[in-house]
Amino acid sequence: MEVKDKLFLLRSELRNTRGDHVDHCSFERLLNIRFLRETGRNATVYNEEFRMNFYSPSSISSIYEIETVDFFMKASSRLSKAQEFIRRINYRYDWMQAKIKDKNLTLSVENIKELQERWPRLKAAILKDYKGSVVEHALSEIDKQFETPEGIYRSLSQYFYFGLIFPCIPKVHNENWNHQRNIEFSDYENEKFEEIISYIQTNDGKKLYKITGNTLTDSITTIHEYDGYMNIQEDDTFPTDVKVNITFERDNIINQWKFNLLRYN
C-alpha cells in the first residue's frame, strides 16, 4: 500500500553575477505530497484482431495533492523588502492535484478550474497589503499563467517548484534507459531547457540517475554547467534525494542555480 503523505524539503539557491556586483537568494520550500486516489484500474481496450477487450495497465493514473507546508526566503539587501511578497505568491499552487499516467511519463493537473478560481482571491488579499507598479506587474504575469492549463502545468516541470519531485521516470525500465523532457529552472528565466535523465545503476534497492541538460534551438543562453544526480527506491515513483547544479550566462550575467531535494519519509 502506498504511503499516503510524502514530505519533501526543497532548497534552492540563486546567485547572479554581473561584473563585481553579486545578488544572492536562498529559498526553502517544505512540501507535502498526499496520495488521493487511483483511476483507470479496470480500464480495457478493444483489440480488432482478436475482437476482445484487454486490460490496459497504461490507463492507470495516480492523483496526488500538493501542499506548501512552509516557505522561507533569504535575499540580498536589494530584494529584502520583497521577501514577504514573494513568500505569499509562492502559495498559489497549493492544493494542486497532479495526475501521473502512462507509467509515470505523463503529468497533468486534475483541478485546473479550482486553481483558476482561487488565484483571484489570493491576489485580492495580497493587494490589500502591497501596492505599486512592480507588484502589479508581478501579479499580472501570474494572471497570464492562470489563463490557460499550460500556464499552470509549468510548475510541474520547474525545478523551483515541483519538477524534481515529479521526474517522469517509469518504475520499470531497462539498463540503457534515458529520457529527455523540456523543463524550466524557475519563473525568472522565462526559458525552457532540455533535461536529460540517464539511468546509471542500482545498489541496495536504490536506483541512481545522472541529470544533465542543454539549451533548446535558437536560445541566447550559454550553459556552462548542468550536472546532478537523483536517487529513487525501486518500485517507487518519487525520489529520495536530488542535487542539481546549473551555471548559465545570458546578457553578460552569470547565473548559478543550486537545487537540493530531500525526502523525509
Q: How is the beta sheet containing 5-18 ordered, strand by strand?
A: 106-109, 96-101, 61-75, 21-39, 5-18, 253-263, 239-250, 222-233, 206-215, 193-203, 178-183
CA gap 138, 161 in Å, rounded: 17
| pLDDT of 117 | 97
| Partner residues linked to 15 by β-bridges | 24, 256
| pLDDT of 238 | 95
**pTM as predicted:** 0.90
Q: How many domains does the chain have?
A: 1
| pLDDT of 169 | 94
Q: How deeply is 177 buried, as exposed, middle or buried, from its count of CB atoms within 10 A (0-12, 13-18, 19+)? A: middle
Residue type, 257: W
- Who contacts 77 (Cβ-Cβ below 8 Å, separation ≥6)? none
| pLDDT of 75 | 83
- Who contacts 251 (Cβ-Cβ below 8 Å, separation ≥6)? 220
| pLDDT of 60 | 83
CA-to-CA separations, 4 to 33, 39, 151, 208, 242, in angstroms, rounded: 8, 16, 28, 24, 21
As a whole number of Å, the CA-based R_g of the chain is: 20
Three-state DSSP class for residue 45 = strand
Domain that holds residue 208: 5-43+51-263
- Who contacts 49 (Cβ-Cβ below 8 Å, separation ≥6)? none
| pLDDT of 158 | 97
- Nearest in space to 188 (alpha carbons), one of 158, 143, 226, 147: 158
Q: What is the pLDDT along the chain (265 residues), one digit of tens a residue?
A: 566 899 999 999 999 999 999 999 999 999 999 999 988 665 455 456 655 544 455 568 999 999 999 999 998 766 667 888 999 999 999 999 999 987 777 899 999 999 999 999 999 999 999 999 999 999 999 999 999 999 999 999 999 999 999 999 998 899 999 999 999 999 999 999 999 999 999 999 999 999 999 999 999 999 999 999 999 999 899 999 999 999 999 999 999 999 999 999 8
Sign of the torsion angle spanned by Cα atoms 144, 148, 150, 153? positive
CA-to-CA separations, 247 to 29, 32, 214, 257, 261, in angstroms, rounded: 22, 29, 11, 6, 18
CB-based contact 97:36 (threshold 8 Å): yes
CA gap 148, 114 in Å, rounded: 13
Nine-digit cell string for 162: 515541483
| pLDDT of 261 | 98
| pLDDT of 4 | 83
CA gap 230, 218 in Å, rounded: 29
